[in-house]
Structure 1
Amino acid sequence: MKEYSVKLSILKTLSQGGFHSGEELGDKLGISRAAISKHIKGIQGWGVDVFSVQGKGYQLAKPIQLLDQGVLQNNLANNVELIPIIDSTNQYLLDRVDSLESGSVCLAEYQAKGRGRRGREWVSPFGSNLYLSMFWRLDAGIAAALGLSLVVGVAIVEALEDMGLTSVKLKWPNDLYYQDKKLAGILVEMSGQAGAAANIVIGMGLNLMMSEATQGITQPWASLFEVAKNQEIDRNQLAITMITTLHRTLDEYERYGMSGFVEKWNRLDNFINRPVTLLIGSKEITGIARGINEQGAVLLETENGLESYIGGEISLRSRQ
């Protein structure tokens, strides 16, 4: 953390708006203008768009509202750890499952090694999105975690709806969509032994106001800024709402399992009653999506009738 303290201090000043000269920033931090310039390049490497104008100094291309540990903790009963620069919020919690209380949360402004499902990279530019992971000890064990990503997806959409952000849909088994573009991804990772409680880490990456120039993303994506019709979103309040809703939903899931969530999921299914392709390894299955069942399996109406599948991934390339 110490090695990033200067960059974070610069960002905190720039986030206040306006131009700030290299001399001003250097005097404030006790370093040279050349050192400030070097740190600015490092900040740009985090995906932050900083531009400079001779005679004026540095300015952010667009405002950044930084997450605030105090605000978050004062509004949540959960243990919250904000680590601005991290490899992976999920990995941070996975490495500490033996010492965490259920419901503990880790948030970050930037992930150097953010990951998605099937080991894919999750591009995580600084301050543009919401990167959040929660630890949960599931007393019913690993077998009870089947369908958990579906329940989490429902929780996140309902949290957004509570904030007045509507028209967000779900894609089986772990994505949020807006207008057929990916808005957020969910990654559930777990450890434990048969007959014992399962240690679950639930990670979420939610696109908030990411730059269209962001590199490394290979599929169409949407941002919450679009959903909000370009209205400003308070990132701290967004995080608080997400954490509160997720905790409440996990409590409900422990008591009742998938019952009650099937109907909620099917209401929000982005592909329901639409032609899709399910990819299972090299195998492709085409059919009409008919939602999910109580085991969390996706239902496809194929030429063989209504079939259910636990594994696989729905292709974005719907076939007409």
Structure 2
Amino acid sequence: MNLFSQQAYFQNKFSELHFQFYDKVDSTNEKCKEMCRNDECKNWVVVANAQSRGRGRYGRTWESQAKNIYISFSIKNPFVNDIVTLNFYLGVMLYRAVIHSFPEIEKNLTLKWPNDLYFNDKKLAGILIENVDNELRWIVVGMGINVYASANEIPDIATSLAIEGVREESMRTKVISCLLEEVYTRTTVEDYRELFWKYSGKTQNGVYSYTKGNKIYRGVLQCLHDDGSVTICDVEGQKIHIVV
């Protein structure tokens, strides 16, 4: 289902939010930051069917297809002086949104440090956090979630809900709705570091890839430190400390 047909649904359900829907944009994050600069006191949500210059960590870019979720939203930073907790918090929100949408796949999902969501050993979703102002009062959060993409449309290291057998009507609408509920309506303050560790269980028992500088290490997650860094044990038995 085309997300354009769901605009009224989202606006009615989340009347306090301000939505912008696009068929294709360069980057939902850039569009959302533009909205914030024009009126930073609003909670903006930008959704696109596709984006031509989506970005990830380390400045990576990619051409995004019209079969997935490309969403960016602005929020008043709940952790202005604690970027580490903010990172954990957003990872937990993403994990919960997918689990609440499709509880049958919970056993296969895991958060992977620093802020990716994996289905077993393949990437399902990622997060990009950017500042709106120098004081970090408002931030823009971009999320990309593979939904309907087929195996020949995404890299071998990635997967999608459809590839993993999740086939329901309006999957994108369902996930976006759950995500916005988690971010904008949840009021309980929790220990997000502890929850991130809990939801990253598979990476504590399996070998995953981690980037340190220009080098990629394959290893098992050993420890999630209070400062947001991690220690992994690589395939050669060497312990490696990695900072975001």
Where on the TM-score scale, by shorter chain, does this alignment land: which range?
0.7 to 0.9
Which of the residues 93, 99, 109 maps onto 1:161? 99
- SS of 1:221's partner is coil
Structure having the higher strand fraction is 2
1-structure distance, mates of 2:78, 2:90 = 17
Provide the residue aligned with 1:294 in structure 2.
226
The structure whose Rg is larger is 1
Deviates more, 1:159-168 or 1:106-115: 159-168
1:264 maps onto 2:211 in alignment: no
Contact (CA 8 Å) 2:79, 2:86: kept in 1 or not?
Answer: no
Residue number in structure 1 paired with 2:56: 116
CA 1:265 to 1:197, structure 2 compared with 1: closer, same or farther past 3 Å? closer
**1:309 and 2:242 are equivalent in the alignment:** yes
Match in the other structure for 1:96: 35
Superposition deviation, residue 218 in structure 1: 4.0
Q: Is the contact between residue 149 and residue 163 of structure 2 (CA under 8 Å) also seen in structure 1?
A: no
User: Which letter maps to 1:189?
Assistant: E
Q: Distance in 2 between matches of 1:183 and 1:284?
A: 19
Change (3 A) 1:272 1:248: farther
Work out whether residues 147 and 161 of structure 2, in 8 Å CA contact, stay in contact via their aligned partners in 1.
yes
SS in 2 for 1:82: strand
Given the two structures, how large is their TM-score scaled by the length of structure 1?
Answer: 0.64
Q: Deviation above 4 Å: which 4+ runs of structure 1? A: 283-287, 301-305
Q: Does 1:172 align with 2:103?
A: no
**2:101 and 2:174 in contact (8 A); partners too:** no
Q: Which residue of 2 aligns with 1:192?
A: 133
Distance 1:208 1:86 in 2: 18
Percentage of identical aligned residues: 26
**Kept after mapping to 2: 8 A contact 1:85/1:109:** yes
Check 1:140–1:171 CA distance in 2 against 1; reply closer, same or farther (3 A cut). Answer: closer
Question: Unaligned stretches of 5+ in structure 2?
Answer: none
Deviation of the 1:248 alpha carbon: 3.9
For the 8 Å contact 1:110–1:125, the answer to whether it is kept is yes
Given that 2:92 and 2:192 are in contact with CA atoms closer than 8 Å, whether structure 1 keeps it comes out as yes
Residue type of the partner of 1:154? V
Instruction: Give 2:184's aligned residue.
Output: 247
Q: In structure 2, the residue corresponding to 1:185 is in which secondary structure?
A: strand
Paired residues of 2:22 and 2:49 also in contact (CA < 8 A): yes
Find the partner of 2:26 among 82, 87, 90. Answer: 87
Call closer, same or farther: CA 1:89–1:263 in 2, change over 3 Å.
Answer: same
Counterpart of 1:208 in structure 2 is 147
Alignment length, in residue pairs? 235
Amino acid of the residue matched to residue 104 of structure 1? W
Query: 1:273 touches 1:290 (CA, 8 Å); kept in 2?
Result: no
Give the secondary-structure state (helix, strand or coil) at the position aligned to 1:159. helix
The secondary structure found in structure 1 opposite 2:91 is: helix
Conserved 8 A contact 2:70-2:142: yes
The structural deviation recorded for 1:291 is 4.5
Q: 1:87 to 1:237 in 2, by over 3 A?
A: same
Q: Distance in 2 between matches of 1:236 and 1:198?
A: 29
Shift of 1:151: 1.9
Residue 132 in structure 1 maps to residue 71 in structure 2: yes
